[in-house]
């Protein structure tokens, strides 16, 4: 069995869901040790144990929360010197990406990014990565040791298996040279809305919405359905809505019960992030749009008329 590390990202003291998803796959690939850094690391170790970690390396230095990427890179590089792992798994999340990139460059091993699955093969590891805009899946073999693989959130299902991890203190000194990009403030802008990743209904808008002024129509429908609003890359790039709303290869992956794509043509970049949805409904002017070929129900018509009518009908139904 190989030695597999999971970088268990913490977010303001709590384990991120992706960390436990990674644990589920890591257990199949070898003996798992997790690394938890920053506030809440010690508490997280118990959970990681229940999810199959044999050892959890912890360090609760405030530098891990206050400074971007470099302290975590130092800790992982230092631990790597002591005990060379075969594989290091990271979530494909903004903060983990920052750490993984620096670590891969420092260890001169490269990495495989944006993977949807990973398997052991011939003593090494092969990851499945969306390629060619998502139309194809590439099997990518890591040629160096350790293999560093970043896995898209929601690729695996987290599952408790019981167990207790041995907790080890990760001894590392974070010197001033690594305390450079200082997070001085965290500003929360989103309101009490349903999170895109957790929503059971997602309504996403694309260029067919005509402009940012029409996005409130989607918000209204989302609130009537208790869902969340997403967007295509095209409208995020156009500055209509923030990046946090982007669904797709380079945005978020969602798999809600119902996904309603409004004015979205269905480029691979987008569909790779939503095609695992249970039911897909598409509303589009163009009957030939690729999204129509994958939707359970495709409606050819004017989204700006259909969406408000649908919102009214949903509200009437609830009464």
Partner 1 sequence: MKIVVTVKQVPDPNSNLGLEADNTLSREKEAVLDPGDECGVEEGLQLKEAHGGEVILVSMGPERAKDAIRKGLSMGADRGVLITDPQLAGADALLTARALAAAIKPEAPDLVICGTESYDGSTGMVPPMLAELLGIPQVTFAKKVEVDGSTLKVHRQTADGYQLVEVSTPALISVTAGIAEPRYASLKGIMAARSKEIKPVGLGDLGIEKGQPAETIEGLTDAETRKAGSVIQDDGTAVDRIIQVLVEAKVV
Footprint of partner 1 on 235-254 (CB under 8 A): 236-239, 242-244, 249-250
CB of 46: closest distance to partner 1 in angstroms? 25
Place of tokens 């384990």: 15
CB of 197: closest distance to partner 1 in angstroms? 8
Q: What is the 3-state secondary structure (H, E, C) of 219-249?
A: HHHHHHHCCEEEECHHHHHCCCCCHHHEECC
Judge residue 124's burial from the number of C-beta atoms within 10 Å of its C-beta, 0-12 exposed, 13-18 middle, 19 or more buried. Answer: middle
Contact yes or no for 54/165 (Cβ under 8 A):
yes
Tell me the C-alpha distance between 316 and 105, whole Å.
57
* Closer to partner 1 by Cβ: residue 208 or 298: 298
State yes or no: residue 48 binds partner 1 (CB under 8 A).
Answer: no
* Closer to partner 1 by Cβ: residue 59 or 73: 73
Judged by CB under 8 A, which stretch of 35-43, 97-105, 166-174, 206-214 contacts partner 1?
Answer: 97-105
Cis peptide before 146 (omega within 30 of 0): yes
Q: What is the 3-state secondary structure (H, E, C) of 247-288?
A: ECCCCECCCCCEEEEECCCCCHHHHCCCCCCCEEEEEECCCC
* Closer to partner 1 by Cβ: residue 29 or 165: 29
Count other C-beta atoms under 10 Å from residue 313's C-beta.
11
Query: What's the DSSP call for residue 134?
Result: G
CB of 229: closest distance to partner 1 in angstroms? 14
Instruction: Show contacts with partner 1 in window 9-38 (CB under 8 A).
Output: none
State yes or no: residue 119 binds partner 1 (CB under 8 A).
Answer: no
Instruction: Show contacts with partner 1 in window 123-182 (CB under 8 A).
Output: 126, 130-144, 150, 180-182
Judged by CB under 8 A, which stretch of 47-55, 157-165, 203-211, 303-311 contacts partner 1?
Answer: 303-311
* Closer to partner 1 by Cβ: residue 58 or 172: 172
* Closer to partner 1 by Cβ: residue 41 or 99: 99
The backbone torsions φ and ψ at residue 266, rounded to the nearest 5 degrees and listed phi first, read 100, 40
State yes or no: residue 281 binds partner 1 (CB under 8 A).
Answer: yes
Instruction: Show contacts with partner 1 in window 207-226 (CB under 8 A).
Output: 225-226
3-class secondary structure, 190? coil
Judged by CB under 8 A, which stretch of 18-26, 30-38, 163-171, 232-240 contacts partner 1?
Answer: 232-240
Judged by CB under 8 A, which stretch of 79-87, 108-116, 168-176, 208-216 contacts partner 1?
Answer: 108-116
């Amino acid at each position: 069995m190989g030695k597999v590390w999971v970088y268990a990202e913490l977010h303001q003291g709590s384990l991120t869901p992706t960390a436990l998803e990674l644990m589920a796959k890591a257990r199949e690939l070898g003996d798992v040790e997790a690394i938890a850094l920053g506030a809440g690391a010690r508490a997280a170790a118990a959970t990681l144990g229940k999810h199959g970690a044999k050892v959890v390396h912890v360090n609760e230095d405030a530098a891990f929360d206050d400074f971007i990427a470099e302290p975590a890179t130092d800790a992982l590089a230092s631990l790597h010197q002591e005990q060379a792992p075969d594989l290091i798994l990271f979530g494909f999340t903004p903060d983990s990406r920052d750490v993984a990139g620096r670590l891969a460059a420092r260890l001169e091993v490269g990495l495989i990014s944006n993977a949807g699955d990973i398997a052991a093969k011939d003593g090494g590891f092969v990851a499945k990565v969306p390629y060619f805009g998502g139309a194809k899946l590439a099997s990518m073999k890591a040629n160096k040791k350790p293999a560093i693989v970043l896995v898209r959130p929601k690729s695996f299902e987290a599952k408790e298996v019981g167990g207790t991890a041995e907790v080890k203190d990760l001894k590392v000194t974070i010197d001033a040279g690594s305390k450079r990009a200082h997070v001085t403030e965290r500003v929360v802008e989103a309101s009490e809305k349903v999170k895109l990743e957790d929503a059971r209904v997602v309504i996403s808008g694309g260029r067919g919405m005509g402009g940012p002024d029409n996005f409130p129509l989607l918000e209204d429908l989302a609130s009537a359905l208790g869902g969340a609003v997403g967007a295509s890359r095209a409208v995020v790039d156009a500055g209509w809505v923030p990046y946090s709303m982007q669904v797709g290869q380079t945005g978020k992956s969602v798999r809600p019960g119902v996904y309603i794509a409004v004015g979205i043509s269905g480029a691979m970049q987008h569909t790779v992030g939503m095609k695992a949805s249970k039911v897909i409904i598409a509303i589009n002017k163009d009957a030939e749009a690729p999204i129509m070929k994958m939707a359970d129900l495709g409606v050819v018509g004017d989204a700006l008329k259909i969406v408000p009518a649908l919102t009214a009908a949903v509200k009437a139904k609830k009464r």
